[in-house]
Structure 1
Amino acid sequence: MDLVLDFLLLSASGAACLYCWVLNRRLKGLTSAKGGLGAGVAQLSQSAEEMKAALAATRSAADEAAARIESLLADADRKASALEELLDRLEKTGASVAEKAEDATQKYVDVIAPFLAEANAAADRLFAAIERSPAAEPDTPKNASTIPTEPVQNKEEDYVAIDAAPTKRAARPREARKEAAA
């Protein structure tokens, strides 16, 4: 029985040695720098360094962009206030111009109104004189050779020249002219 026990003890220690040897090989493979846990740790360490460098570059770029944006915002605020001042001045100038234009228009209307009234009065006198003239009566022409038998169209008197372009004058009765003058 001793021999069996010795043999079992020897086989158990051999199995333990074999197990230790396999375990040793696995641990060496795991800790090797080429393909094990050491390589993973080294790669992870390198990635961490790259991330730190990228983070520092991003942080500096963000700081530069923030500084540039702040300067642009300050410039925009200055320009916005200047633009508001210009708009206020433009509004005041526009109101002033409109007021001056209204004053000038009123002045010209005031200056021209007596002349228009005078011209209407002269036109009324002229039409009254034409109506009273013997040539205006168709029954008693003084000289039949001077009165045209057919209506003459496009006579010089039928046109009023404005800017050297003739336009047809609209016939207005005396009452319409009086209402226009009033």
Structure 2
Amino acid sequence: MNLIADMLMTAAALGAAIYCFVLAARLRRFTTLETGMGGAIAVLSAQVDDMTRALDEARGIAGSAEQNLADLTSRADKIARRLELLMASLHDLPEPQEGAGQGAPEDDARRLRFVRRRAARDLEDVE
């Protein structure tokens, strides 16, 4: 009985040793930097670093754009207030007189008049 138990124990130890060698070989292939998961992890790590830098740049640009937009909005508010004030001041102007928009009668006499005459050649074509 002891002999059978020893043989089973030896077989189990031999099976465990083979299993450990197989796992060690798989783990070596898994962690190689060129072709295994180690390479994929290294690439992903580099991409995460690049994305972090890009995100920081985007945050900086967004912050400056936000400040620029706030400045433009405040300028637009100031200009809108000035325009409202100018529109309100237009209501205070007197109404125009009826004859004030037209020129005086002596201005009409001085106005130049242009007369276009047809050339003799054009008159022959008409008849």
TM-score by length of 2: 0.64
Q: For the aligned residues, what is the CA RMSD?
A: 2.5
Match of 2:35 in 1: 35
Which residue matches 2:60? 60
**Which segments of 5 or more consecutive residues in structure 2 lack a partner in the other structure?**
100-127
Query: What is the rounded CA distance, in whole Å, between the counterparts of 2:85 and 2:4 in structure 1?
Result: 112
How many correspondences in the alignment?
100
Whichever residue aligns with residue 39 of structure 1, its letter is G
Query: Displacement of 1:6 after TM fit?
Result: 4.8
SS in 2 for 1:33: coil
Does the residue aligned with 1:35 lie in a helix, a strand or coil?
A: coil
Aligned equivalents of 2:11, 2:88: Cα separation in 1: 106
Match of 1:97 among 74, 95, 98: 95
Distance 2:89 2:70 in 1: 29
Equivalent residue letter for 1:65: A
Give the Cα–Cα distance (whole angstroms) in 1 for the partners of residues 6 and 67 of structure 2: 84
Letter in 1 for 2:15: A
SS of residue matched to 2:66 = helix
Bigger CA radius of gyration: 1
Q: Deviations over 1:14-70 (max 9, x none)?
A: 222211110101111222212333223323322221221111111111111111111
Measure the CA separation in 1 of the matches of 2:80 and 2:49: 46
- Give 1:79 shift: 1.1
| Aligned-pair identity (%) | 33
Q: When you count strand as a share of all residues, which structure comes out higher?
A: 1
Distance 1:76 1:6 in 2: 93
Specify the SS of the correspondent of 1:72: helix
Larger RCO: Structure 1 or Structure 2 (Cα < 8 Å, ≥ 6 residues apart)? 1
| Amino acid in the other structure paired with 1:66 | E
TM-score by length of 1: 0.47
